[in-house]
Amino acid sequence: MSIKKLQTGITAFDHISAGGLPYGRTTLISGSSGCGKTLFSAQFLAMGIQLFDQAGVFVTFEEQVEDIRINLRTLNWDIDTWEKEGKWVFVDASQKDDDSLTVGDYDLSGFQVRLERAITKCNAKRVVLDSIGSVFTQFQEMNSIRHELFKVTLALGRLDTTSIITTERTEEYGKVSRLGVEEFLTDNVIILRNVLSEEKRRRTIEILKFRGSMHEKGENLFTIHPEQAIVIIPLSAMDLKYRSSSVRVTSGVAKLDEMCGGGFYRDSIILVSGSIGAGKTLLVANFINGIQKKERCLLLAFEESREQLFRNATGWGQDFAKLEEDGQLKVVCIYPEVSSLEDHLLNIQAIVKEFKPDRIAIDSLSALSRTSTDKAFREFIIALTSFLKHQEITGMFTVTTTLLSGGTSDTEGNISPLTDTIILLRYVEMSGDMQRSLSVLKMRGSKHDSSIRGFTIDDKGINIGEPFIGVSGILTGIPLRS
């Protein structure tokens, strides 16, 4: 039996938290400076208003109200109207310029009265206190302030609100908070991180605990999107429950279809591995050309420009310009370095949702992997493949190997378990002649031709020939005639 949750409306958060924030309770959000605590909290209120028509109270102990308004407007949240309609109420508890002298005992009942009044006035369902650390800098008596804040959280529960309290921490991996507030806010804790890892920033969200309730464990990547604010990429919550299609689609090369036992599965991911010039882009071109009438293909090029791609395709007898004119092809060329992988992922998802392709080709993944750490790249691939499979899109990704013949790439080692089909393109040196070879290394859920075949490229494209017979050691790069 899980406790009742309040759906937040924040993308994917409700998914990783198995339904949202614990209803009628206070959740502590802890993180270092700049981790997105205030944004997450503000988004919690904004989504409440936009999606569920629930009013919210935002208590600021630190930032000035006008600064917060300015920040909210940049996300296209209509704070002015919300305030006018009484859906969003600020309680300004920020420190004012005038110094105040402390003489004798005091409590924070002034704050409590104002907070309760704000909540009842707008019938708030959601409350944010940002950030509690500043209360301790405004008032010195740690113990009594802690006690006062505890009373505040009791009041929040009594008023039937679901609330967030934010707090700072000094290290990304250490004590939950530097203030000891977890003593009374111990039931529900979320940690936001902004870690520098190999020169790249990695933002993650972790639900440390939700007492008495299910949630995903571990860190989930998120990114701050200029329009959607915080977008979580729920890795741990991804399931492998997508349907598995038995429908076959053509690779665009009849002989290759034959080698794969009748073509690729429609919702499969195909990895094409080969060195520079081994014919990867050619296979991609055929894959694109394999689309049927009324089907669409999206090509994401991270290495070559449009002009180069179109010219090469023409060289193989294919007319990309015509396909694009007919709306069957969309070519998007992006420099991998322009954004982080999380942002690339969101961008790709947005393009896919808009264009609704049946196929997607990425040339090449290796270019993308250069911009990130191994871990982040792996997470990117998991998220991307899962997304594509849910949409039943056939995907072809290329990776570049460093050696001309033989060898594997780092990228490949990282992602091959996540793909359904692997095609190896390798050079073979035979009697002083560089020959090209193609083999289907893996074909999940189907029989396939296990031979290594030679192939040639001419102005009509690819011609797959006969298996190399009587030669061994091709994949090691040192072929021997036996």
Partner 1 sequence: MSKLALHLYINGKSHISVEAIDNLNTICQEKVPGEYELEVIDIQLDPDRAEEAGILAIPTLIRTWPLPVTRMIGALTVKSRVMAGLGLSNL
**H-run or E-run covering 332:** strand 329-333
* Cα–Cα distance, 115 to 57 (Å, whole number): 8
* Cα–Cα distance, 353 to 319 (Å, whole number): 25
93 binds partner 1 (CB under 8 A): yes
CB of 66 to partner 1, least distance (A): 14
Respond yes or no: is residue 379 known to be catalytic: no
Closest of 115, 117, 139, 141 to residue 128, by C-alpha = 115
Q: Please pick, from the candidates 51, 70, 113, 434, the single residue that binds partner 1 as defined by CB under 8 A.
A: 113
* Cα–Cα distance, 382 to 43 (Å, whole number): 27
93 versus 229: smaller Cβ distance to partner 1 = 93
Q: Please pick, from the candidates 10, 108, 230, 423, the single residue that binds partner 1 as defined by CB under 8 A.
A: 108
Q: Please pick, from the candidates 1, 53, 104, 466, the single residue that binds partner 1 as defined by CB under 8 A.
A: 104
**H-run or E-run covering 398:** strand 394-400
Site mask, partner 1, residues 34-73, x = CB under 8 A? ----------------------------------------
* Cα–Cα distance, 441 to 227 (Å, whole number): 43
322 binds partner 1 (CB under 8 A): no
92 versus 182: smaller Cβ distance to partner 1 = 92
The token pair at 173 is: 């991996």
Angle between helices 306-315 and 280-289 (to 10 degrees): 80
Around Cβ 82, how many Cβ atoms within 10 Å? 20
Q: Indicate which residue of 148, 206, 303, 379 is catalytic.
A: 303
Segment lying near partner 1 (by CB under 8 A), choices 9-17, 98-106, 296-304, 409-417:
98-106
Segment lying near partner 1 (by CB under 8 A), choices 68-76, 93-101, 370-378, 413-421:
93-101
Closest of 385, 431, 397 to residue 274, by C-alpha = 397
Applying CB under 8 A, the site for partner 1 has a residue count of 23
Bond prior to 364 in cis (omega within 30° of 0):
yes
292 binds partner 1 (CB under 8 A): no
The b-or-e profile of 367-377 (16+ CB within 10 A means b, else e) is bbbebbeeebb
111 versus 302: smaller Cβ distance to partner 1 = 111
* Cα–Cα distance, 446 to 307 (Å, whole number): 37
148 versus 412: smaller Cβ distance to partner 1 = 148
Burial class of residue 31 (count of CB atoms within 10 Å of its CB; 0-12, 13-18, 19+): buried
Around Cβ 472, how many Cβ atoms within 10 Å? 13
CB of 98 to partner 1, least distance (A): 6
* Cα–Cα distance, 253 to 267 (Å, whole number): 18
Phi, psi torsion values for 356, nearest 5 degrees: 50, 60
Respond yes or no: is residue 62 known to be catalytic: yes
CB of 68 to partner 1, least distance (A): 16
Segment lying near partner 1 (by CB under 8 A), choices 95-103, 125-133, 389-397, 459-467:
95-103
Segment lying near partner 1 (by CB under 8 A), choices 104-112, 196-204, 337-345, 435-443:
104-112
373 binds partner 1 (CB under 8 A): no
240 binds partner 1 (CB under 8 A): no
476 binds partner 1 (CB under 8 A): no
Segment lying near partner 1 (by CB under 8 A), choices 85-93, 283-291, 297-305, 399-407:
85-93
CB of 110 to partner 1, least distance (A): 4
CB of 78 to partner 1, least distance (A): 23
87 versus 203: smaller Cβ distance to partner 1 = 87
* Cα–Cα distance, 104 to 440 (Å, whole number): 81
CB of 103 to partner 1, least distance (A): 4
Closest of 140, 147, 165, 188 to residue 60, by C-alpha = 165
106 binds partner 1 (CB under 8 A): yes
Q: Please pick, from the candidates 99, 199, 227, 239, the single residue that binds partner 1 as defined by CB under 8 A.
A: 99
Q: Please pick, from the candidates 4, 81, 84, 110, the single residue that binds partner 1 as defined by CB under 8 A.
A: 110
469 binds partner 1 (CB under 8 A): no
The answer to whether 416 touches 267, Cβ cutoff 8 Å, is no
* Cα–Cα distance, 267 to 245 (Å, whole number): 6
393 binds partner 1 (CB under 8 A): no
Q: Please pick, from the candidates 32, 50, 71, 138, the single residue that binds partner 1 as defined by CB under 8 A.
A: 138
The token pair at 196 is: 């520098």
CB of 59 to partner 1, least distance (A): 10
CB of 89 to partner 1, least distance (A): 10
Bond prior to 131 in cis (omega within 30° of 0):
yes
140 binds partner 1 (CB under 8 A): no
The token pair at 40 is: 């997450």
Active site residues: 62, 303
Q: Which residues bind partner 1 (CB under 8 A)?
A: 91-93, 96, 98-111, 113-114, 117, 138-139
